[in-house]
Chains A and B, each alone.
Chain A
């Protein structure tokens, strides 16, 4: 069969970690069913290794091949588990037995069930399996690539690597064809014309182009912009830099539900307003703004309407013509596409003029110079097409899972507040505040679930998110908010596990909290006079 000779790594070194290793190697060697030559470790002459840790990978390396042919997945898993245990034994303090690994990563529900049955009876230690990763419940930060998207991208990463702007050879032509096909796919998702889609490096760049580009183009006549207080950081930052250039910006407040007041918007529009920017679905609290109504107001007052639809595209039905949207930002990695690509929709009828931010060779109709990354835009196009097909199925499923999560948490725990309007809400983004519990400690306690409190862009700072402050949550509730994200690949078991762990840890943290004790005793926290030290 041509199996390479397995070189047993076990050297007869009397030191205890290696004694363990030799016994391990002996048990592994017993799996070499098909191989006649049995080279037991102990019969080899004494050879002390210069550095045991470095010898391990190389020594185990050749031994991997025969196992793969013998026992398929279970064999490889066993070997991997054995190697890991050996590595733990070597690097940990020397002792006769390895300590039970307390890495804290939980066994995934229903995961690796067939393999664990095989490994259980052939190894000594109970824990066997590849490194377990936390459950991913943070889809607002980013999403995994859909396998269909990866499949669409692969040819353009391997064989069809031409620059789409090369007009003289087949590599360029086929890349250009792929780019145009992707443009058509993105356009059909939002009801636009392909000529109105410009590819960018992400929603942040799209937002910059939309806000700065429109404002600067109409600078001579219009100097006012309107946006909301709950926008994404890139929108707020663009507005701030425009203020430094001499523009005026009105930051509309939001109601307690997170939705803006349409009358306030109408009142804020001035004769010299050039742009209104309101995001479709908020990335922190998941509220859906009334985009169709805002579009109606803006078009009647002849003001351009831009919406940051990064979290909404492909998840809720959007049509730029029905909703009278003039500019829209799209992000690739929020809709199960690749990171590093996005698009901006710029209306042509009536034409919206935008001043280009990036100077260069005039690609993308002069609005965004620079080589268009073919594999990435092909991925974006495929992601949009998949999203269009799966939108209904995903929405139904995510709504069901979200209902389940909220119901189960709310019925087992008192004093839990959901931030954001419960009706105009995208179900996949749930922001809950657990009173009398500190958010960071809850996040750390839920270490085998990947969650976040507030958006990824602002998670580095310690202050509570500005979005929660804008909707008027109290400081202490804002500190204890967690955002649960449910996506296309989230399973029921993951949701149930998250709910169970959440309830368990919140109860535990509340037991430890003196504020909770006081509340149980009936003391009103607002009436306490905290003494100054």
Chain B
């Protein structure tokens, strides 16, 4: 499944960090960057592809949320 490949996940991670830096409020900005980094780091050893896909979908939804802010 292309969406859950390593490159895709890294692209998602970079996109999320890039979008998070656009928050105008200091607190939201630092929280978003920190939370995204910690969440990806925490899940880096997940092996089950179904779970990976769920996490990736959730991350994509969160990316949309950040984009809309």
Contacts and interface: CB of A to CB of B under 8 A. Distances in A.
Interface of A: 108, 111, 136, 144, 147-148, 150-151, 154, 393, 488-491
A207 B35 CA distance: 34
Size category of the binding interface on chain B: 10 to 19
B31 A489 contact: yes
A112 to B, nearest CB: 8
List the 6 shortest-distance A-B pairs measured between CB atoms, nearest first: A489-B27, A151-B65, A489-B31, A491-B30, A111-B26, A147-B69
A449 to B, nearest CB: 13
Interface in B25-62: 25-28, 30-32, 34-35, 38, 62
A144 B31 CA distance: 12
B26 A151 contact: no
B26 A150 contact: no
Contact of A108 (B26, B32, B35): B26
B65 A144 contact: no
B22 to A, nearest CB: 9
Interface in B9-31: 23, 25-28, 30-31
Contacts of A489: 27-28, 30-31
B68 A488 contact: no
Contacts of B27: 136, 144, 489-491
7 contacts: A136-B27, A150-B69, A151-B65, A393-B38, A488-B31, A489-B28, A490-B27
Contacts of A144: 25, 27-28
A393 B28 CA distance: 16
B64 to A, nearest CB: 8
B28 A151 contact: no
Contacts of A393: 35, 38
Contacts of B38: 393
A381 B29 CA distance: 23
Contacts of A154: 68
Contacts of B31: 488-489, 491
Contacts of B35: 393
A111 B25 CA distance: 9
Given A147-B65, A148-B65, A491-B30, 5 more contacts: A151-B65, A151-B69, A491-B27, A491-B31, A491-B34
A320 B60 CA distance: 34
B26 A147 contact: no
Nearest to A111: B26
Contacts of B23: 147
Nearest to B39: A393
Most chain-B CB neighbours within 10 Å: which of A144, A147, A148, A490?
Answer: A147
Nearest to A150: B69
A154 B35 CA distance: 23
Contact of A147 (B30, B34, B66): B66
A149 B30 CA distance: 17
Contacts of A136: 27
Contacts of B28: 144, 147, 489
A406 to B, nearest CB: 22
Nearest to B30: A491
Contacts of B32: 147
B38 to A, nearest CB: 7
Nearest to B25: A144
B26 to A, nearest CB: 5
A151 B30 contact: no
A394 B25 CA distance: 19
Contacts of A108: 26
A136 B31 CA distance: 14
B26 A148 contact: no
A108 B24 CA distance: 13
A148 B62 contact: yes
B37 to A, nearest CB: 12
A491 B31 CA distance: 8
A234 to B, nearest CB: 29
B20 to A, nearest CB: 10
A199 to B, nearest CB: 24
A148 B67 CA distance: 11
Contacts of A490: 27
Nearest to B38: A393
A147 to B, nearest CB: 5
